[in-house]
Amino acid sequence: MKNRIDELLERYWEGETSLGEERELRDLLAKADGYEAEKSFFLGLSEISNINEISLENPAKRSGNLLAFWWRIAAGFLVLMVAGISIYTQQRKQAEREAYEQVMQAFSLIQENMQKGTANLEVLQDLHYLNTPNEIFDIETK
């Protein structure tokens, strides 16, 4: 009997036993002296197999909560929509600010160039006060 138990244990640990041989091994271990570790192992296996399947369903969840489910989906959609609108508004304001700054820089550049151009015309303004070209050249006409 001891040889048969050793043979079946060796085949069991190698994963080569059939269900019938495993049943035979459990029966032999129950009748044999010694092999305490193996007996407790197979006893634990049988206890695990006797445990009833635990229901994993949420007891608070009912099929009548379908309306609440859709309300949660609608609320999530609403939150995403409000976030999208606020992001779009912020980006639009930022783009308007940048466009305003570019326009102001362009006006500043135009003003600067206009001042350069009018500074050159001041010399011509002095000539405007003269009445005739004769006065420029000191020519007397009779």
Residue 80: what pLDDT?
97
pLDDT digits (tens, 9 = 90+) for 105-140: 999 999 999 888 777 777 666 665 555 565 666 666
Contact call for residues 5 and 25 (beta carbons, < 8 A): yes
Residue 127: what pLDDT?
60
Residue 57: what pLDDT?
65
Task: Work out the angle at residue 134's Cα, subtended by the Cα atoms of residues 131 and 138, and round it to the nearest 5 degrees.
Answer: 115
| Per-domain residue ranges of the chain | 2-47, 81-142
- Give the pLDDT band of residue 99 (cuts 50, 70, 90): very high
- Give the pLDDT band of residue 103 (cuts 50, 70, 90): very high
Residue 104: what pLDDT?
96
Share of the chain above pLDDT 90, in %: 30
Q: Where are the alpha helices (DSSP H) in the chain?
A: 2-14, 19-31, 36-50, 66-128, 133-137
Q: What is the pTM of this model?
A: 0.37
